[in-house]
Amino acid sequence: MPATRTHFTDRTDAGHRLAARLAHLRGPGTVVVALPRGGVPVAAEVAAALGAPLDICVIRKLGLPHQPELGMGAIGEDGVRVLNDQVLRPARVTPGQLAAVEARERAELERRARRYRGDRPPVDLRGRTVVVVDDGVATGSTARAACLIVRARGARRVVLAVPVAPEDWTERLGDVADELVCVGTPSPFFAIGEFYADFSQTGDAEVLRRLAEARDRLGTGAGLPAAVATDRELTLPAAGVRLTGRLTVPAGARGTVVFAHGSGSGRHSPRNRRVAEELNRAGLATFLFDLLTEDEEPDRRNVFDVALLGARLTDVARALPGDPAAGPSAGAPLPLGLFGASTGAAAALWTAARLGDGVAAVVSRGGRPDLAGPRTLAAVTAPTLLIVGGRDHEVIDLNRRAREHLRCESELAVVPHAGHLFEEPGTLERVAELARDWFRDRFREHSGAGPQTPDDPPTPVTQNP
């Protein structure tokens, strides 16, 4: 690229011009990842042009103690640290000085990650083309760290895209990216800001606004498909109260999964949201809602009141439209599945027994199906998958005993090296895959009948912790 002076009005202008060079990446397999804060306005324009989800990769530059604007390295999420020896050696930075700078920047990194993401999990990058975007490259330490992070998260192809960079940027970064795209590589090059008419600092408020706009553009969370027919809050009557949840329906949905949350877990649970996003990507609708009101949650007896939870879940399942995207008059209703976590698993099985053939499949994650009681378990007809962590020995035993009472098709899947909450790397992803395959296969086999009301099964005994 010719070494001419390149100027942008601001980061939005830079994003427009950069997006024009990335049109060949438009497609459902592409995700745009921004480096906050300055890279977010640029990446937002790129993501909009490509019709792609927008996520962030929080990076903090490690500036020299006596010259903070000059990066001697960078740190990122997942413990990634990249050091620039060409800057460190001549500056004679001591290990103590480096540790002090890193500790300060690590605290800010964690603050920003919490601020920008909240309880939303990162977009699943596995097998996808990931476009890493910043407002420019200077030393390249920050961009290098970002590329390493997205690669570690399973990106199939990494594209580093920036509006402006030094002439030798491909030599510096060609080893961490499969493709490098830049609008201009001017020379001489002293600082990124010299090529912007407006290079004012990007604030947290703008970052949050841009991320929210990107989610709204796709219709839901950043990890979901672009083709979403419905994504909205929905309040439904249930056993004398009104319960609110999030209904997400991909275009052409092949079934609906209602989540029954367990002890200490609501519709905003990152773990259940992660599973729901995997189901959405597989073309399944999801409804995540709270079984208890805010006033009821502090009373731990309610968490273990299976009759209460089951009755509410049953009412919600009945109240959902047969086709949640178009309404019950749009043809045959979609198959219904139930996903229960912890004590929510007992509620899901209680509801499955009550609705009979109206439930096509049930999945339990780290659940307590035993709390539903033997007679209720024996009344379940829906194929049931019980997922338990390999290190959750007591719950494994409880699930095995509960399975002995099931008369329907059932499987017990033990995820190796996982604890009760599936917090270990890769274990929650495995849960999502198992649930996805179970629901998708059973929905395909199901006749599509909606919720029915056979004779009520015996009410389970309420058990306290």
Give the lowest-confidence range in 33-42, 219-228, 417-426, 431-440: 219-228
Q: Which of 103-107, 187-191, 206-210, 262-266 has the lowest mean pLDDT?
A: 262-266
Q: Check whether 47 has a pLDDT greater than 80.
A: yes
Asked if residue 457 lies in contact with residue 379, where contact means CB atoms within 8 angstroms, the answer is yes
Handedness of CA 398, 400, 403, 405 (dihedral sign): negative
Terminal Cα-to-Cα distance of the chain (whole angstroms): 68
In a domain, 461, yes or no: no
- The predicted model scores a pTM of 0.52
CATH code: domain of residue 244: 3.40.50.1820
Q: pLDDT by residue (tens digit) across 203-238? A: 888 899 898 888 877 754 444 443 556 777 788 888
Tell me the percentage of the chain whose pLDDT exceeds 90.
Answer: 44
Residue 409 and residue 276 in one domain: yes
Helix (H, G, I), strand (E, B) or coil at 432: helix
336: helix, strand or coil? strand
DSSP character for 399? H
How many separate domains does the chain show? 2
> Is residue 86 one of the residues assigned to a domain?
yes
- Residue 328: the pLDDT is 38
How many alpha carbons lie under 13 Å from residue 210 in its C-beta half-sphere? 30
Q: Are residues 189 and 290 in the same domain?
A: no
Whether residue 222 is contained in a domain is answered as no
Same domain, 148 and 238: no
Report the alpha-carbon distance of residue 362 to residue 372 in Å, rounded: 14
Identify whether residues 156 and 274 lie together within a single domain: no
Q: Do 274 and 183 fall within a single domain?
A: no
Same domain, 242 and 124: no
pLDDT value for 134: 96
332 has pLDDT over 50: yes
Domain co-membership, 72 together with 193 = yes
What is the CATH number for 132? 3.40.50.2020
Same domain, 30 and 148: yes
Query: Half-sphere exposure (CA, 13 Å, Cβ side) for 343?
Result: 24
Residues 319 and 376 grouped into a single domain: yes
Q: State the average pLDDT over residues 316-327.
A: 68
What range does the domain containing 112 cover?
A: 11-207
Confirm whether 1 is domain-assigned: no
Identify any residues that bridge with 158 across adjacent strands, giving them in sequence order: 130
**Is the residue at 458 inside a domain?**
no
Where b means 16+ CB within 10 Å and e means fewer, 196-215 reads beebeebeeebbeebbeebb
Are residues 196 and 246 located together in one domain of the fold?
Answer: no
The reply to whether 451 falls in a domain is: no
Could you write out the DSSP letters of every residue in 236-296?
EEETTEEEEEEEEEETT---EEEEE--TT--TT-HHHHHHHHHHHHTT-EEEEE-SS-TTT
Instruction: In whole angstroms, give the CA distance from residue 17 to residue 199.
Output: 16
> Are 197 and 74 in a shared domain?
yes
Least confident range of 69-83, 366-380, 418-432: 69-83
| Domain shared by 47 and 130, yes or no | yes
Q: Is 464 inside a domain boundary?
A: no
The answer to whether position 2 is within a domain reads: no
